[in-house]
Amino acid sequence: MDDKTSNDNKEAPTTTTPSKVEPNFVAPLGPNVHVSRHPILAHKLSVLRSSSTPPHSFRAVLREITFHLAYEATSTLSTRDVPITVPSSSNSSNHVDAIGQKLRERVALIPILRSGLGMVDPMLELVNGATVHHIGMYKNKSNMMPVQYYNRLPKVCDVDVAYVLDPLIATSNTITSVVGMLKKWGVSEIHVLSVIASRRGLSELLKRHPGVHVTLGTLDDGLSDDGDLLPGLGDAGDRLYGTGEVGEDDDLVHVSKRKRTMSDLGN
């Protein structure tokens, strides 16, 4: 075999694009799904789950976890060159010309009320130029389907990337519905940021919206018959704001006049 024939049969060299997944994240369900494996975050997740964590601590830990997850989720954003000046170290009145970087995309945060509100501030610390559009959803207990009660999306979409914020993904009915709304609104790239998701819920979300990006703190295997995440962390909204269920007969009665149980009387 001559050299020419040998060279013709050689495969052209290929180049690989480095993965954007950081060492502390794994992508078991595709390149767009990142699940943290950081030991510090695992520790903080246990604090967040614990029944003994009071609302003020719950808010603080959720903020820390969100900042960690958001740092990873925003790594896919791009930048453009901008001219800047830098003060001289020898003479503060002199400035040196340089090239800096500025985010290219227009970013929006979409917190799902009310628990998603606890994730907004740490996101704004990272992307302080982002707009915030609220969507309110609650679960219909009879069929576990989401019901929208509030929507502040502008009529015209002026956003390139949207980050949907919700601490929990259980059945994924709510998050799937919101992602669908954003697609109809016209967002080209959608990221879901959540602390805990069920494996079944995540699978359903990806089945309905295979192109969505998802960044998670961890995955739970359990899902109750009522559609609650197990072990989860309880009702994230109630734990954020120190609220609980009010008795049906007591919701319009001042707290001082509500019925008291024997355990209340004994305290």
Residue 253 has what pLDDT?
55
Residue 87 has what pLDDT?
87
Span 18-36, pLDDT tens digits: 344 444 554 457 789 999 9
Q: What share of the chain is helix, strand, coil (3-state, %, to 5)?
A: 35, 25, 40
β-partners of residue 197 are 169, 219
Model pTM score:
0.78
Nearest Cα to Cα of residue 200 among 180, 175, 178: 175
Span 152-172, pLDDT tens digits: 899 999 999 999 999 999 999
- Contact between 169 and 205 under an 8 Å Cβ cutoff? The reply is yes
Span 93-111, pLDDT tens digits: 788 889 999 999 999 999 9
Please tell me the distance from the alpha carbon of residue 101 to that of residue 78, in angstroms, as a whole number: 9
Give the residue, 35 or 266, on which the prediction is more confident: 35
Residue 246 has what pLDDT?
46
- Contact between 84 and 99 under an 8 Å Cβ cutoff? The reply is yes
Helix/strand number for the chain, H first, E second: 8, 14
114: preceding bond cis by omega (within 30 degrees):
yes
**Predicted confidence (pLDDT) at residue 9 exceeds the cutoff of 50:** no
Under 8 Å CB-to-CB from 200, ≥6 apart: which residues? Answer: 171, 172, 223
The mean of the pLDDT values for the chain is 83
Could you tell me what percent of the chain has a pLDDT over 90? 61
Span 210-244, pLDDT tens digits: 999 999 999 999 888 888 889 999 899 999 998 87
Span 175-208, pLDDT tens digits: 999 999 999 999 999 999 999 999 999 999 999 9
Residue 124 has what pLDDT?
96
CA distances from 116 to 140, 195, 219 (A): 18, 11, 18
Tokens of 86: 């830098």
